């Protein structure tokens, strides 16, 4: 995997309010398939760059901001794996911070597949207008 592609992903998913996704979007294959859990109102499978961009536009209708900070950008065979911290604030004023993982498959130096693995329960909480629920650590006997 070439360094410019890894750098494009790093720039797109690092620095919270500094996320610069232009190069990452340019690295998407025209027929990219992108998936996100359908347990949130903007979830589902999106096919093609146009639908990928529409997905993000829809996400930003719900949030004042939704940004990421990559913990690492890892290349493994034809995959790029990016664990991130996500910070977001809904337009109704509820904030969340949680862990996500981006998984990208690459072919011919283009991103052909992507999926976000996320804590959708927290996302649902803030979208429904409440603070994210947190449960105490299990007490082991």
- Tell me the pLDDT tens digit for each residue of 12-69: 999 998 999 999 999 999 999 999 999 988 889 999 999 999 988 888 888 999 999 9
Q: What tokens appear for 69 in the block?
A: 């900070």
**pLDDT score, position 56:** 87
The residues, ordered by sequence, that sit 6+ positions from 37 with a Cβ below 8 Å of its Cβ are: 43, 116, 118, 120
Class of domain 3-127: alpha beta
- CA 74, CA 55: separation in Å to the nearest integer? 24
Instruction: Give the per-residue pLDDT at 58.
Output: 87
Question: Does 80 have pLDDT greater than 90?
Answer: yes
Residues 6+ apart with CB under 8 A from 111: 5, 24, 27, 28, 29, 32, 80, 104, 105
Spans of all domains in the chain: 3-127
pLDDT of residue 100: 95
Average pLDDT over residues 105-116: 97
Long-range interactions of 83-87: CB distance < 8 A, separation 24+: 84/13, 86/118, 87/16
Q: What is the pTM of this model?
A: 0.90
């Amino acid at each position: 995997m070439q360094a410019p592609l890894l750098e494009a992903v790093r720039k797109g998913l690092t620095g919270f309010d500094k996320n610069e996704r232009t190069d990452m979007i340019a690295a998407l294959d025209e027929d990219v398939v992108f998936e996100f859990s359908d347990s949130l109102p903007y979830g589902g499978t999106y096919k093609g760059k146009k639908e990928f961009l529409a997905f993000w536009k829809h996400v930003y209708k719900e949030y004042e901001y939704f940004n990421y900070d990559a913990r690492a950008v890892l290349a493994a065979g034809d995959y790029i794996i990016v664990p991130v911290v996500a910070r977001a604030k809904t337009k109704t004023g509820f904030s969340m911070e949680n862990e996500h993982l981006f998984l990208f498959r690459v072919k011919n130096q283009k991103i052909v597949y992507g999926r976000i693995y996320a804590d959708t329960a927290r996302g649902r909480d803030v979208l429904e207008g409440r603070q994210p629920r947190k449960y105490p650590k299990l007490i082991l006997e």
